[in-house]
Amino acid sequence: MRAFATLVDRLTYTRSRNAKLDLIADYLRTTPDPDRGWALAALTGALDFPAVKSSTIRNLLTERVDPVLYTLSRDYVGDTAETASLLWPAPEGEDPSDEPSLSEVVDLLRAMTRSTVLTELPKLLDRLDANGRYALLKFATGAMRIGVSARLARVAFAQAFDVSVDEVEEYWHGVEPPYPTLFAWAAEGAPPPRTDLVPLFRPFMLAHPLDETVVSMDDYAAEWKWDGIRVQLVHINGETRVYSRSGDDISATFPEMAEALDFPAVLDGELLVRGSHQGGEEGGAASFNALQQRLGRKTVSKKMLREAPAFVRLYDVMIRDGEDLRELGWAERREHLELLMDRLDPKRFDLSRLIEADSFEDLATIREGARDDAIEGVMLKRRDSPYIAGRKVGLWYKWKRDPLLIDCVLMYAQRGSGKRSSFYSDFTFGCWDGDPDKGADLLPVGKAYFGFTDDELKWLDRHVRQNTVNRFGPVRETDKSLVLEIAFDSVHESKRHKSGLAMRFPRINRIRQDKPAHEADRIAALKALVRD
């Protein structure tokens, strides 16, 4: 437990991604089984001990500490587990040799029930120091919140044993904590975990930005780039799972899709919600904003299923009836995919239409003329490209629609973290809520922390320092004299912001030193760009 507590402690204070990877990889290499497996499960959020809740911890504490002093402490610290770890009255005569191992902790936590937890958890807490108690409570409540994503933990696993992260992702959904077969494969060269019985995630093939490249339409096929989320549907052994691009299982969020595939296959497509914002009636898809209402839910109401039904626009087929098609060229796979459509429910699936273009110039014209702002752009796929995990140069390209642009005024700046910790690098900008010459005010419309070069960052940092009019903790308010040209992909109505608008992917496109602040855009101009 001590090694795990130290890992949690150090991860808490580490900001650099590489340093986090090193810490986790080092831990996984040097810790014995099954402890390291349990730790990996904790870091990837795969553990849940239903008997231990935040309220359990609170009850334990208020039995031991004056409730008023507990509440004052909790309010100050802001985290129940940390408050408890600090306030826990250490027993007399501590015996460090009695510290439990992580696997012993798991066995004890699993054995606890709602009725025994109030007597059993204290015994465990008594055997640990403050750091150990913190790690234990975070571990037991399943909410680590130490800035480590499940993906980062898997990358660290691959790094620890020098195996390919794509392979780790591929086996991941077929193994259970504490992952003995996964460690045996990666650390000791045993055969990989079996993958033929569970609906596993296969890493996606991804595209490079086209930039200045010009391709021949003889070699490449073009499709629209729909603005939903990329998903993979996997059916095997009577079970279907829906995976997001990061390999997260989102079947529970989209149960109608999990029910819709009933033969062994792995399909690749764009998850969308029915509507007409993207591509009109023919396009048949609602805006990303409509889809967003359904993301991140663990359960879905009937009303939601009725009002925002999901479907998948298919791009590719990776495996069909147990046959792996990934080695075939794109054109052959496309034929297989088209033949598959008869076996799929048209309510839940349609086929991503190909764009008929005679030449690259022709395609450019079609792309320019796409009336529909909600479509993200165009995809170009080499006709003979096999399905290869990751981004391989020359096979697939994305040719995004040109971004929308608007001129905003810099309002606030905040210092960044990590390498940027000494720079003001997070910028909040606003538009005028009326005529600035008639006393209109600026309303914040967005926040951006990229899009500029290192030199521009230095310049912006200096501008902020020299033009500060107010400080609020880490935030500086500037004199609102600087115009920034902001590029963004789309803008939506939002109740969360005072301006009533929220941008997608805002970034700083240009610093407009030449433009006076009162000539920056108004809220109305931004509102006119809303497409849903």
Partner 1 sequence: MPIKPAPDFSWIKPDPHGIFVEPCNAWIDPSKPVETALVTHGHADHARGGHGAVFATRETLAIMDLRYGGAGRDVMIPMREPVDIGGGVTATYFPAGHVLGSAQILLEHAGERVVVTGDYKRRPDPTCEPFEVVPCDIFITEATFGLPVFKHPPIAGEMRKLLDAREQRPEGCVAVGAYALGKAQRVICELRRAGYDEPIYLHGALEKMCALYEELGVPLGELRSATGIKKDELKGQIVLCPPSALNDRWSRRLPDPVTAMASGWMRVRQRARQRNVELPLVISDHCDWDELTQTITEVDPAETWVTHGREEALLRWCQLNQRRARALAMVGYEDEDD
- Residues with Cβ within 8 Å of residue 392, at least 6 apart in sequence: 205
Q: How many residues bind partner 1 (CB under 8 A)?
A: 24
Kindly state the smallest distance separating residue 137's Cβ from partner 1, in Å: 13
Contact pattern for partner 1 over residues 51 through 70, marking x by CB under 8 A: --------------xx-xx-
Residue 13 contacts partner 1 per CB under 8 A: yes
Residue 96 contacts partner 1 per CB under 8 A: no
Residue 83 contacts partner 1 per CB under 8 A: yes
Residue 26 contacts partner 1 per CB under 8 A: no
Query: Coil, strand, or helix at residue 175?
Result: coil
Kindly state the smallest distance separating residue 465's Cβ from partner 1, in Å: 8
Residue 417 contacts partner 1 per CB under 8 A: yes
By beta-carbon proximity to partner 1, the closer residue of 15 and 391 is 15
What long-range pairs does 369-373 form, CB within 8 A, spacing at least 24?
370/224, 370/401, 372/277, 372/278, 372/279, 372/280, 372/283, 373/401, 373/404, 373/490, 373/529, 373/531
Query: Coil, strand, or helix at residue 329?
Result: coil
Residue 104 contacts partner 1 per CB under 8 A: no
- Residues with Cβ within 8 Å of residue 78, at least 6 apart in sequence: none
Which range in 118-126, 174-182, 386-394, 416-424 contacts partner 1 by CB under 8 A?
A: 416-424
Residue 12 contacts partner 1 per CB under 8 A: yes
Q: Which of residues 113-152 bind partner 1 (CB under 8 A)?
A: 134
Kindly state the smallest distance separating residue 63's Cβ from partner 1, in Å: 15
By beta-carbon proximity to partner 1, the closer residue of 14 and 232 is 14
Q: Which of residues 163-192 bind partner 1 (CB under 8 A)?
A: none
With CA atoms as reference, report the closest residue to 128 among 84, 66, 70, 63.
84
Residue 393 contacts partner 1 per CB under 8 A: no
Distances (CA, A) of 429 to 252, 278, 339: 38, 29, 51
Which range in 83-91, 117-125, 400-408, 482-490 contacts partner 1 by CB under 8 A?
A: 83-91
Which range in 81-89, 239-247, 308-316, 434-442 contacts partner 1 by CB under 8 A?
A: 81-89
Determine the Cα angle at 161 with ends 176 and 134, to 5°. 60
Sign of CA dihedral 73, 75, 76, 80: positive
With CA atoms as reference, report the closest residue to 232 among 325, 317, 300, 116.
317
Pairing mode, strands 310-320 and 349-351: parallel
- Residues with Cβ within 8 Å of residue 210, at least 6 apart in sequence: 380, 397, 398, 399
Candidates 422, 438, 466, 514; binder of partner 1 (CB under 8 A) is 422
Candidates 87, 215, 370, 511; binder of partner 1 (CB under 8 A) is 87
By beta-carbon proximity to partner 1, the closer residue of 110 and 458 is 458
Q: Which of residues 429-488 bind partner 1 (CB under 8 A)?
A: 474
Candidates 25, 37, 39, 82; binder of partner 1 (CB under 8 A) is 82
Kindly state the smallest distance separating residue 423's Cβ from partner 1, in Å: 9
By beta-carbon proximity to partner 1, the closer residue of 64 and 343 is 64
User: What is the Cα–Cα distance from 532 to 519, expressed in whole angstroms?
Assistant: 27
- Residues with Cβ within 8 Å of residue 364, at least 6 apart in sequence: none
User: What is the Cα–Cα distance from 240 to 234, expressed in whole angstroms?
Assistant: 5
Residue 79 contacts partner 1 per CB under 8 A: yes
Kindly state the smallest distance separating residue 424's Cβ from partner 1, in Å: 11
Residue 252 contacts partner 1 per CB under 8 A: no
Residue 14 contacts partner 1 per CB under 8 A: yes
Q: How many CB atoms lie within 10 A of CB 273?
A: 25
Candidates 2, 58, 415, 527; binder of partner 1 (CB under 8 A) is 415
Q: What amino acid occupies position 252? A: A
Candidates 213, 365, 421, 513; binder of partner 1 (CB under 8 A) is 421
- Residues with Cβ within 8 Å of residue 249, at least 6 apart in sequence: 173, 201, 241, 242, 243
Which range in 7-15, 239-247, 331-339, 503-511 contacts partner 1 by CB under 8 A?
A: 7-15
Residue 72 contacts partner 1 per CB under 8 A: yes
By beta-carbon proximity to partner 1, the closer residue of 72 and 197 is 72
Is 225 catalytic? The answer is yes
Query: Across the strands, what pairs with 424?
Result: 415
With CA atoms as reference, report the closest residue to 404 among 495, 482, 509.
509
By beta-carbon proximity to partner 1, the closer residue of 119 and 421 is 421
Considering 20, 53, 138, 225, which one is annotated as catalytic?
A: 225
Residue 3 contacts partner 1 per CB under 8 A: no
DSSP letters, 429-494, are EEEESS-GGGT--EEEEEEE--SS-HHHHHHHHHHHHHTEEEEETTEEEE-S--EEEEEESEEEE-
Positions that interact with partner 1 (CB under 8 A)? 12-15, 65-66, 68-69, 72-73, 76-79, 82-83, 86-87, 134, 415, 417, 421-422, 474
Catalytic residues: 225
